[in-house]
Amino acid sequence: NDMAPKTTVAIVNKTRFSALKIPLPPLETQKQIAAVLEKADQLRKDCQKMEQELNSLAQSVFIEMFGDPVTNPKGWIKRELSEMLSVKHGFAFKSEFFTTEGEYVLLTPGNFKEEGGYWDRADKQKYYVGEIPKDYILEKNDLLLAMTEQAAGLLGSSILVPESNKYLHNQRLGLVKFKDNGQNTVFY
């Protein structure tokens, strides 16, 4: 029949499907499974409630310590962030001088953990052996921010440089400098 060629899609036979037998565990086992699932659901609900209470507590502690940020009842001085710090962008190092070993580690957004902190990329680490502008060699505890989203959640992640005179301030990384003293203040 030219008007209705054979189908290439498998079709389930209704009669054979209706006759299919599905094994069920004994009623007692079914009741035990239901009880476990109910308990798991209750634990999930309890966890959600606890998370809400912790968030509420954290907000209350913040308000108690600092006051409402909108009404500012404690009279905190308000300043623009740009008055307190600057962000210096990194240098565009030439890829022809990238190596797999060397004296200077070329930091990239790939060296940032999403939650913050330095990640040594081991055998994937980039090094640089070309000429280096002096102002782009980093000092211990310099604060850097990832200025691009190389991976989901990475934008804005931060690291403190682990060692002086070893790491390079590459493009796509922002070096935060506090204007009051020209150096970063490290908080622990």
Question: How high is the pLDDT of residue 95?
Answer: 95
Per DSSP, what are the bridge partners of residue 145?
158, 174
Task: Confirm if 166 and 180 have CB atoms less than 8 A apart.
Answer: no
Please give the Cα distance from 92 to 7 (Å, whole number): 59
- Could you tell me the CATH superfamily of domain 81-178? DNA methylase specificity domains (3.90.220.20)
Q: Quick one: average pLDDT of 121-125? A: 91
Task: Confirm if 162 and 139 have CB atoms less than 8 A apart.
Answer: no
% of residues, the chain, pLDDT over 70: 91
Question: How high is the pLDDT of residue 144?
Answer: 95
DSSP 127-154: EE-S---GGGB--TT-EEEE-S-SSTT-
Please check the confidence at residue 184 and state whether its pLDDT lies above 60.
Answer: no
Write the pLDDT tens digit of every residue in 8-66: 677 888 888 888 888 899 999 999 999 999 999 999 999 999 999 999 999 999 999 99
Question: How high is the pLDDT of residue 183?
Answer: 53
Question: How high is the pLDDT of residue 135?
Answer: 93
Instruction: Share the mean pLDDT of the chain.
Output: 88
